[in-house]
Copies of this chain bind each other. A is one copy, B any other.
Amino acid sequence: MHTLLVLTSNKDRPAYLEHLRAAHLPDLEIVESATPAVDLVLGDPVLIRKVLPDLPALKWVQATWAGVEPLLDPALRRDYILTNARGVFGGLMSEYVFGYLLLRERKILQRLEAQQQSRWEPSLTGSLRGKAIGLLGVGSIGAHLAETAAHFGMHVHGYTRASETSPHVERYYHGQDLLAFAAGLDVLVCVLPNTSATRKIVDAPLLAALPPRAIFINAGRGSSVDENALLAALEQDRLAGAVLDVFEQEPLPPEHPLWHTKNLFITSHTAAPGFPRELVGLFVENYLTYFDGKALKYQVNFELGY
């Protein structure tokens, strides 16, 4: 018998419980608060962090997020298997990134303004085809972005620690080649997790290495970007535009200068929400694997941070 603690936002909890019960998992009791019997947890890392000391029987945590940094603090216990959410965010991230890229190429806001003035506006559209996109991080999310970009006829470059797994990346860069990777890009997209190696990786030198025509999109973690350097590059037209979904401080405070920075679109950490149905599906698949005594999918390495 296993005891599963479900720890999500109050808003999402009914949906999680409904989908879990509908799965009729064998030998599983579901609880909503920490008890000594709890050996499994499904939930949001920031909520799980608080109850870690109260779970003496803990064996496995399935996070509902891709980023699990709240559980990576070296002061916290690591005597359990931590799996994160993968494979469910790629499609949403592609919708986000390409929604904003097409907004720009297709001049949607400019054409909307013309419509409001009842004005025929036949100016030539741009196109993604033939442009170069660089992906900072090519895990499961980056691989989906790479496939979408290739479908639209873009040239895809990737910067990773070591892996070269996506067939849609034409050229990989690693280690010291970060600035070489940036040169010549039309679009740079960061989908890196928050680790010590990614902190402020998008800094003034990297932004300076991008062509002035380039667009930067951060849909990973706010910690990857030097926000002051980005703000300066945008205000001084050293970068054509940016889209940020994540920030050093969230929610972004009302007085923060990024809200009104030139050529910057801001979204509120909404790029790739976890839908309860899909995350329960991921848990169910992993639970049945666990139940069979096999190795779980998407295990996090506490040292690497992903």
Q: How many copies does the complex hold?
A: 2
A:161-213 near B, CB below 8 Å: none
Q: Which of A91-99, A279-287, A290-298 interfaces with chain B? A: A91-99
Which residues of B are found within 8 Å of A254, using beta-carbon distances? 118-119
- For the complex, what is the distance from the CA of A111 to the CA of B100, rounded to whole Å? 12
Which residues of B are found within 8 Å of A267, using beta-carbon distances? 111, 121
- For the complex, what is the distance from the CA of A96 to the CA of B269, rounded to whole Å? 26
- B270:A111 contact, CB within 8 angstroms: yes
Q: Mark A141-175, 1 if CB is under 8 A from B, else 0.
A: 00000011001110000000000000000000000
- B105:A99 contact, CB within 8 angstroms: yes
Question: Is A114 an interface residue when CB atoms closer than 8 A count as contact?
Answer: yes
- B273:A125 contact, CB within 8 angstroms: yes
Please count how many residues in chain A sit with their CB below 8 Å of the partner chain's CB atoms: 50
- For the complex, what is the distance from the CA of A219 to the CA of B100, rounded to whole Å? 21
- A115:B265 contact, CB within 8 angstroms: yes
A:251-285 near B, CB below 8 Å: 251-252, 254-256, 259-260, 265-271, 273, 275
Check A152/B95 contact, CB under 8 A, given A108-B103, A254-B119: yes
Which residues of B are found within 8 Å of A100, using beta-carbon distances? 106, 108
- For the complex, what is the distance from the CA of A22 to the CA of B112, rounded to whole Å? 38
Question: Is A129 an interface residue when CB atoms closer than 8 A count as contact?
Answer: yes
Question: Is A128 an interface residue when CB atoms closer than 8 A count as contact?
Answer: yes
Interface centre among A106, A123, A147 (most CB of B within 10 A): A106
- For the complex, what is the distance from the CA of A112 to the CA of B287, rounded to whole Å? 41
- B124:A273 contact, CB within 8 angstroms: yes
Which residues of B are found within 8 Å of A148, using beta-carbon distances? 151
Check A111/B268 contact, CB under 8 A, given A91-B129, A92-B125, A95-B152: yes
Least CB distance from A134 to B in Å reads: 20
Which residues of B are found within 8 Å of A228, using beta-carbon distances? none
- A99:B102 contact, CB within 8 angstroms: yes
Which residues of B are found within 8 Å of A268, using beta-carbon distances? 111, 114, 120-122
Least CB distance from A210 to B in Å reads: 23
